[in-house]
């Protein structure tokens, strides 16, 4: 699992958008380098002696994937029962996918999606980074993202500001809009998205938005076409989302009001593909055992 300390923090203040001096007819390179599924390099079936623990655990993962439906809570499978050889085999099967999650708290958690969409390696750690619990979760997103991100967060947003301040352009109106959405939004409501890239925003606007929303405990990095960096805010159901191209230039800057941004979630059709892929892997070893 990668060192999540290297996940970039989602910037929400001055300098987080292109300045007027940077405007002009300079076309940004479009995102590239999309990751695609590659079958993992695994031991030959005849060399798989002693991997019964891993086979049984992965069969449990497969069953959970096959049973998963949108709206289901994530299923958890404990890896601490495996010896080092079996754990290494599971590591090979899972690999590393496109989405990683860092939860910063007294008991930090790091999660990494595997190459199988909807299968997450989740590690609970202590303050020194030592792994206390190592698990696999099966679902569209690790359970902590829904359960822990906004615990204790306030949905009230202070929208009062000096509308006569010449440094402010659109922040006052955006704060009123966000305050209304945060107060009324409920699970199941449509996502409310504000595209900041389409609005003239000064450094003072961005600083005020960042100050009022605050920074939450969850950072999510999604690597596909370029990077998508998602930061929870200190206000319940408010997320700040930035899309970068392959040259790390900001191409889209948004605030979303929702439970979990869709870009962070494994799609149902991708989870269905994971069922087929994992079954194909395990079928090689089933024939070997027959």
User: Taking residues 155-168, what's their average pLDDT?
Assistant: 90
Strand residue runs (E) in 79-162: 99-103, 109-113, 119-125, 131-138
Which fold is adopted by the domain 150-259? Ribosomal Protein S8; Chain: A, domain 1 (3.30.1370)
Mean pLDDT lowest for which of 39-43, 73-77, 254-258, 260-264?
39-43
- Is 70 exceeded by the pLDDT of residue 151? yes
Yes or no: say if 135 and 79 are a contact pair by the CB < 8 Å rule: yes
User: Taking residues 22-41, what's their average pLDDT?
Assistant: 51
Which fold is adopted by the domain 48-146+267-289? Ribosomal Protein S8; Chain: A, domain 1 (3.30.1370)
Closest residue by Cα to residue 167 from 206, 202, 211: 202
Q: How far apart are CA 223 and CA 217, in angstroms?
A: 20
Residue 2 banded pLDDT, cuts 50, 70, 90: low
- Is 70 exceeded by the pLDDT of residue 9? no
- CA dihedral sign of residues 238, 219, 261, 226: positive
Residue 133 banded pLDDT, cuts 50, 70, 90: very high
User: Taking residues 31-50, what's their average pLDDT?
Assistant: 65
Yes or no: say if 60 and 277 are a contact pair by the CB < 8 Å rule: no
Residue 8 banded pLDDT, cuts 50, 70, 90: very low
Residue 122, helix vs strand vs coil: strand
| Whether the domain at 48-146+267-289 and the domain at 150-259 fall into the same CATH topology | yes
pLDDT value at residue 281: 92
Closest residue by Cα to residue 93 from 143, 36, 37: 37
pLDDT value at residue 180: 98
Tens-digit pLDDT profile for residues 217-267 = 999 999 876 799 999 999 999 999 999 998 889 999 999 999 999 999 999
pTM score? 0.83
Yes or no: say if 253 and 197 are a contact pair by the CB < 8 Å rule: yes
Q: What is the CA radius of gyration of the chain?
A: 21
pLDDT value at residue 284: 85
Question: Number of H helices and number of E strands within the chain?
Answer: 6, 10
Question: Domain locations in the chain?
Answer: 48-146+267-289, 150-259
Query: What tokens does 271 get?
Result: 């989870």
**CB contact set of 42 (below 8 Å; sequence gap of 6+):** 89, 92, 93, 281, 284
Q: How far apart are CA 245 and CA 193, in angstroms?
A: 20
């Amino acid at each position: 699992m990668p060192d999540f300390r290297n996940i970039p923090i989602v910037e929400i203040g001055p300098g987080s958008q292109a300045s007027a001096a940077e405007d002009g007819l300079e076309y940004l390179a479009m995102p590239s380098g999309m990751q695609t599924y590659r079958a993992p390099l695994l031991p030959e079936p005849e060399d798989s002696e002693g991997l019964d623990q891993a086979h049984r655990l992965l069969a449990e993962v497969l069953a959970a994937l096959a049973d998963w439906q949108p709206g289901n809570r994530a299923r958890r499978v404990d890896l601490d029962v495996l010896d080092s050889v079996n754990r290494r085999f599971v590591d090979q099967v899972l690999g590393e996918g496109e989405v990683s999650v860092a939860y910063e708290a007294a008991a930090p958690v790091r999660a990494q999606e595997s190459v199988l969409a909807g299968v997450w390696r989740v590690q609970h750690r202590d303050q020194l980074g030592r792994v206390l619990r190592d698990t696999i979760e099966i679902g569209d997103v690790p359970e902590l993202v829904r359960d822990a991100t906004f615990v204790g967060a306030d949905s009230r947003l202070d929208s009062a500001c000096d509308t006569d301040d010449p440094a402010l352009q659109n922040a006052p109106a955006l704060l009123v809009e966000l305050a209304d959405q945060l107060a009324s939004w409920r699970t199941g409501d449509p996502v409310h998205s504000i595209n900041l890239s389409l609005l003239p925003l000064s450094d003072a606007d961005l600083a005020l938005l960042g100050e009022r929303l605050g920074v939450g405990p969850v950072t999510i990095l999604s690597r596909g076409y370029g990077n998508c960096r998602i930061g929870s805010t200190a206000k319940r159901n408010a997320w700040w989302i930035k899309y970068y191209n392959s040259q790390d230039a900001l191409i889209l800057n948004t605030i979303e009001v929702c439970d979990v941004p869709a870009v962070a979630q494994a799609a149902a059709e991708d989870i269905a593909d994971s069922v087929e892929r994992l079954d194909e892997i395990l079928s090689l070893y089933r024939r070997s055992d027959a």
